[in-house]
């Protein structure tokens, strides 16, 4: 006899299928709920730093806006520098030594300017990397807002231009020429902001707090400063650091002639302005700027950007372009010029490069 089979009725089959679907629904809905919770926890909170106007990770930065806030930052920092100096509350102290053995000074002006400049820039562009000469104390955080207004002269000369936020590095020098600042040599003091894109300086701001003069420029954009029209390439006036004047003078006179004028000065920002047409009564004029030792990038980035925007050059002593990524120091010294044969200048100064790593 054939074995007896079990046959389900159509109603039983329907009940069995419904039970199966119920089990699958329960399992899959739990999985979806878990994925949804993970997604919500992974997203930044609405209105958080990552979603603020200006920039976002993986987003874009408008260089015209960044120029506007950089000018404001340099001016605001300069206000702190001037207030501290005029109040004679510098509280100067040594923060270390240079490679040449000279003491580096730190004042209240450096710290307050740095705080004001850093938090203004960081608040406006939270996703952008900012490198500053002074350490930022997170316990002393300051809320400095930007109303997003763009000065008319920038509006008229600069068009909006967006670049990826991750390609931007901002370099701040909250008080250039601190040594001269402590000696009350105010004409040398500047506050500076530089914007580099993929390591190339494209925006430079140099502000003189004690005269309220500000120079700014953007590569392939515009500027509020011009190069001087007259230069003497045969017997140039060479501006150098006060501490390095003796080191440069002998070689400079040998290469350019005994009539070469050596101008000792403080501050990298001041020295770059000496190459330009600056309406300042206390601003000396020079044809070439030379630095023969190690120098930090926040000292030179803004000046480099301004010169590039005006068709000038700032390179190492061997003619290499300076990259504003990676380490904060430039090992190869520098030579800067504008409206001159830069390559010919470098060829005249072969011996200076040997001293740049000391």
Residue set of the binding site:
133, 173, 175-176, 299
Catalytic residue among 110, 169, 190, 316: 110
Distance CA 203, CA 193 (A): 8
Annotated catalytic residue within 107, 108, 169, 178: 178
User: Is 220 among the catalytic positions?
Assistant: no
- Report whether 55 contacts 158 (CB < 8 A): no
Q: Following CA atoms 199, 203, 206, 212 in sequence, which dihedral angle do they give, to the nearest 10 degrees?
A: -160
Catalytic status, residue 143: no
| Binding site residue list for Mg(2+) | 133, 173, 175-176, 299
Report the sign of the C-alpha dihedral through residues 310, 334, 329, 208, in that order.
Answer: negative
Active site residues: 110, 178
């Amino acid at each position: 006899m054939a074995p007896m089979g079990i046959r389900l009725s159509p109603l039983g089959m329907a009940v069995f299928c419904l039970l199966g679907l119920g089990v699958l629904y329960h399992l899959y809905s739990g999985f979806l709920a878990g994925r949804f919770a993970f997604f919500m926890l992974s997203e930044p909170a609405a209105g958080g730093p990552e979603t603020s106007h200006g920039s976002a990770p993986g987003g874009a930065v408008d260089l015209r806006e960044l120029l506007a806030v950089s000018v404001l930052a340099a001016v605001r920092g300069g206000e702190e520098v001037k207030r501290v100096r005029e109040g004679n509350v510098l509280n100067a102290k040594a923060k270390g030594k240079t490679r040449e053995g000279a003491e580096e000074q730190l004042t209240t002006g450096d710290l307050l300017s740095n705080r004001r400049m850093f938090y203004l820039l960081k608040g406006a562009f939270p996703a952008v990397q900012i490198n500053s000469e002074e350490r930022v104390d997170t316990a002393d955080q300051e809320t400095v807002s930007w109303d997003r207004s763009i000065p008319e002269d920038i509006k008229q000369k600069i068009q909006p231009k967006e670049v990826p936020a991750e390609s931007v590095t901002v370099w701040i020098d909250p008080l250039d020429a601190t040594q001269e600042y402590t000696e009350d040599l105010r004409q040398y003091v500047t506050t500076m902001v530089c914007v580099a894109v993929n390591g190339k300086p494209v925006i430079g701001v140099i502000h003189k707090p004690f005269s309220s003069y500000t120079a700014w420029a953007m590569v392939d954009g515009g500027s509020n400063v011009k190069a001087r029209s007259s230069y003497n390439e045969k017997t140039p006036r060479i501006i150098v650091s006060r501490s390095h004047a003796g080191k440069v003078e002998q070689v400079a006179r040998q290469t350019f002639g005994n009539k070469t004028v050596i101008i000792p000065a403080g501050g990298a920002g001041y020295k770059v302005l000496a190459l330009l047409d600056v309406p300042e009564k206390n601003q000396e004029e020079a044809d070439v700027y030379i630095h023969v030792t190690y120098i930090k990038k926040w000292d030179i980035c803004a000046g480099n950007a301004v010169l590039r925007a005006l068709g000038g050059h700032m390179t190492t002593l061997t003619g290499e372009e300076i990259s504003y990524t990676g380490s904060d120091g430039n090992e190869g010294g520098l030579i800067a010029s504008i409206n001159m044969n830069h390559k010919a200048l470098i060829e005249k100064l072969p011996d200076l490069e040997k001293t740049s790593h000391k």
